[in-house]
Amino acid sequence: MTLADNTFDLDALNRRFDGHEAQAIVSWAAETFGDRLVMTSSFGVQSALMLHLVKQVAPRITVAWVDTGYNFPQTYQFAQDLQRRLDLNLRVVQSPLSPARMEALYGKLWEQGREGLDRYDRIRKIEPRDRAFEDLRVAAWLSGPRRDQTEYRKTMRVIEDFGGVLKIHPILDWSSGQVDAYLTKHDLPRHPLRDKGYASIGDWHSTVPATASSDERAGRFLGLKQECGLHLPQTDQENQSRDSSGL
């Protein structure tokens, strides 16, 4: 099943699900797409929420983790803890280009400005995700961005067409307070770097603690951007939208 095989009225779907409970959205997705539904996780600060929420509805859903090879040690430990605790059907996705080989060929891309970071993201994140989605024959993708995180995410809809895959955002309208309340209610762990001032966590070389006055993703990508491209369709229109917003 792909979007090409079925006619989805995205406007109608968004009218139907905008403001709905997150679990109702996940239930519809699981019933509609079956084993061709996948979710992604970065094992970041609040990842336990989406993993727990989705598992209640679709216990054996494939969880795809795009592992760059440059995560903090605490992230790898956190991912292992959540995999055991929640019994995740985890698929680790990586670039065929090892970190050492990439650095030998291109240098430390994260030190090469915005252009270097964009190339880094294409190599270590976007290509591995696209390849995994093709291998898994993904028809729909559950992901956890929220509108209050970045300017670009304010423009997202609950359900979108992402290059032929239906991209579904069950917690798009949740606030940070709602996230914290859910984690507390279900006794779910936070990322261990949260207590060290990290509001959003990516790779060790380009993530810094956020200040008290900054937004959640201000510490990402050395302040040069807020999106790695995983949530941005790689089209001229979307890239123009990203550049105009300063992301």
CA–CA gap between residue 234 and residue 61 (Å, rounded): 26
Contact 189, 49 (CB under 8 A): no
Question: Euclidean distance between the first and final Cα of the chain, in Å?
Answer: 33
Contact 76, 171 (CB under 8 A): no
DSSP 225: -
CA–CA gap between residue 198 and residue 214 (Å, rounded): 11
Which position has the token pair 């940070």? 176
Concatenating the DSSP letter of every residue in 104-135 gives HHH--GGGSHHHHHHHHHIIIIIHHHHHHHHH
Encoded tokens for 6: 């079925």
Report helix, strand or coil for 202: coil
Helix (H) or strand (E) holding 64: strand 62-66
What radius of gyration, in Å, describes the C-alpha atoms of the chain?
A: 17
Report helix, strand or coil for 180: helix
Is 9 noted as a catalytic residue in this protein?
no
CA–CA gap between residue 132 and residue 119 (Å, rounded): 19
Catalytic residue among 53, 228, 229, 231: 228
Known catalytic residues? Answer: 228
